[in-house]
Amino acid sequence: NAAGVTKVDALLTVSSDSLISKAEILLSYGDPALADADDRLSVSPFNGLSQGSGYDTTDQKLTVTGLGTAATYQSVLRTVSFYSSSQTPKTSARTATFKIYDSDGLLKSTATKSVSVTLVDNV
């Protein structure tokens, strides 16, 4: 068994009257003991934005950077997916928190989404 790839929020709405410089997506657990080092978030395509240094497994964080409009960030953040590389992933729910920062680096908005883990037979 393994956890299948799950879109975090394909209907995420990003609105801002100013340009956006960064988005952070953090993965958290109701109980820190449930954290799984094999959990990952990924994003694509980039539409002119960059994924920075990739997924930070220590902080369970994915960062997308680059100056862009709300529409550009929305299209990219709707592609954020969760997966686990573990053969025995924990099935407890995770929470993805989206943080959007304006061009001055100030936090503009935050949204959360529950991420369910579905086991799939990888035979």
pLDDT digits (tens, 9 = 90+) for 71-108: 999 999 999 999 888 887 877 888 999 999 999 999 99
Structure confidence at residue 2 (pLDDT): 54
The pTM assigned to this predicted structure is 0.87
Check: CB of residue 102 under 8 Å from CB of residue 16. yes
Higher pLDDT, 30 or 51: 51
Higher pLDDT, 52 or 25: 25
As a whole number, mean pLDDT of residues 26-36 equals 82
Range with the poorest average pLDDT among 23-27, 40-44, 117-121:
117-121
pLDDT band at 4 (very low <50, low <70, confident <90, very high): low
